[in-house]
Amino acid sequence: MKPRVRSEFAKSGYVFAKSPEDIAKEYGFSKVALLGSNENPYPPSDKVLKAAADALSGVNRYPDPKAAKFNAGIRANICDAPVVTSGLGMDGVIETVIRTLVAPGEKVVISTPTFSVYGLDAKAASANVVNVPRKSDFTVDPEEFIREAKDAKLSFLCTPNNPTGTVTPVADIEYILERIDGVLFLDCAYVEFSDVDYLPLLSHDNLIIGRTLSKVYGLAGLRIGYAFVPEWLAGPYNIAATPFTLNKVSEAAATQAVSETAYKNNFIAHVRKWREVFIREIPFPVYPSGSNFVLINVSPMKGDDVMELLAKQGVLVRSCASFPGLGDTYIRVSVGDVWENERFLSAVKKL
C-alpha cells in the first residue's frame, strides 16, 4: 500500500518570503533590502547577545520546563497576568491553543484577510473553520464578527492586522468579548508599534493575547512567542504543549530583551517615523497602519509582478496574492534600515 498524507497537508501551506540569496544571485546585488517579513533590521543588543552566548555553554542540560525566568521578566516588565510560552514563536502558541481548546468539528472563526497560520492550524485540527470578511477598508464590523463568533469555540482577530495594518479599537474588542461564548485569541504581534493597549481587557476570562519576541525585540531567528491567558487556561495549555517550550538560549535572550527599554523604544520611534514617510511618498494608495509595515494597493498591476519588479531593483517585499480574501493587487512592505527604506522608495517610484 502507498502511504498517503492527510489531505490538509497535501497542497498549499505557509508562504515564506522569497530567498534573498536567490534574488542577490539572480539580479547581481551584494545585499538585498529585506522588507518582506516584518523583521527588525537591527541585531539584538550586546547584553542580549551575551546572555544567549552564556546560556549556550549549559545546553548539555535540559532547559527549565516552566521557563520561570522569562515568566518573571514578563510579569515584571509587561503585565502581571498568567503567561504561557512557545519556543516555536507565537505560531507555536497558536498551534497549542488550538490543540488545547478545539476538538474535531468544533467551530473556529477567523477575521479575514489575515495571517494564514490560524486557518492552517485549525484545519490541521479538523476544526470547522469559518472566515468572517472585514469591510472594504479592512476594519472589523463587530456585529458581523459576533454573528459567527457567538457560538464558536475559538475565534481569531489580529490587531494591528497582518497584512493590512488595521488597528481595531479597544472598545470594539471589549464589545465582542462581552457577546461571544467562546474564547477570543487576539494576535498582538505588532501591538508595540501602535497606540493601543489591550492588556486592560485581560479581566475578561475569555481573552487570550498573543505576543512575540520576533518583531519589536529583534529575535525572530530564536522563535520565541508567548501569550497572556485566563487563569483557567494556563494549566491545560501546559499539559497540551510539547514539553520544554523555551530552550536555554532563547529563554536567556528573551529574558534579557524584555528587561531593556532603549532597544525597543528606538526601533518603535524609527518605525513610526518611516511609516509616515512611506505613506507620504509611495505613489500608490497606502492603508493606515499601526504596525511596522504598510499595505499598498498597486492596482492595476499585480502584487506578484510588482514583487518581481522590485526584486530586480534589489528590494524584497511580500506579494499578498496568497492571503485569501485580499485579491491579487497588493504588496506588503516592512520598515527596514534607512538604506533599505530609501532603496525601496526610489524603486517604487520607478514602477
Ligand X SMILES: *Cc1c(COP(=O)(O)O)cnc(C)c1O
Tell me the backbone φ, ψ of residue 228, rounded to 5 degrees: -90, 130
Task: Name residue, grid cell 506579494.
Answer: 319
Report if residue 322 touches ligand X, rule: CB under 6 A. no
Report if residue 194 touches ligand X, rule: CB under 6 A. no
Half-sphere exposure of 108 (CA within 13 A, CB side): 26
Beta carbon of residue 88, minimum distance to ligand X (angstroms, whole number): 7
Report if residue 187 touches ligand X, rule: CB under 6 A. yes
Taking contact as CB under 6 A, which single stretch among the options 85-93, 124-132, 197-205, 296-304 is the one that binds ligand X? 85-93
The site string for ligand X over 55-74 (x = CB under 6 A, - otherwise) reads: --------------------
> Pick from 332, 311, 306: which is nearest to 320 by CA?
332
Amino acid at 3: P
73 CB contacts (<8 Å, ≥6 apart)?
Answer: 254, 255, 258, 259
Report if residue 158 touches ligand X, rule: CB under 6 A. yes
Q: DSSP assignment, residue 39?
A: -
* One residue of 214, 247, 256, 319 binding ligand X per CB under 6 A: 214
Query: What does 101-142 look like in DSSP terms, one character per residue?
Result: H--TT-EEEEEES--SHHHHHHHHTT-EEEEEEPPTTS---H
Report if residue 225 touches ligand X, rule: CB under 6 A. yes
Query: Which one, 129 or 158, has the nearer CB to ligand X?
Result: 158
Distance CA 18, CA 8 (A): 23
Nearest residue relative to ligand X (C-beta): 89
* One residue of 162, 168, 334, 341 binding ligand X per CB under 6 A: 162
Report if residue 89 touches ligand X, rule: CB under 6 A. yes
Report if residue 219 touches ligand X, rule: CB under 6 A. no
Beta carbon of residue 298, minimum distance to ligand X (angstroms, whole number): 21
Report if residue 294 touches ligand X, rule: CB under 6 A. no
Report if residue 189 touches ligand X, rule: CB under 6 A. yes
Taking contact as CB under 6 A, which single stretch among the options 5-13, 60-68, 88-96, 122-130 is the one that binds ligand X? 88-96
Query: Which one, 85 or 347, has the nearer CB to ligand X?
Result: 85
Longest CA–CA span in the chain (Å) reads 60
Q: Is the peptide bond before 142 cis (omega within 30 degrees of 0)?
A: no
> Pick from 48, 67, 60, 91: which is nearest to 223 by CA?
91
Site of interaction with ligand X (CB under 6 A): 38, 89-91, 115, 158, 162, 187, 189, 212, 214, 220, 225
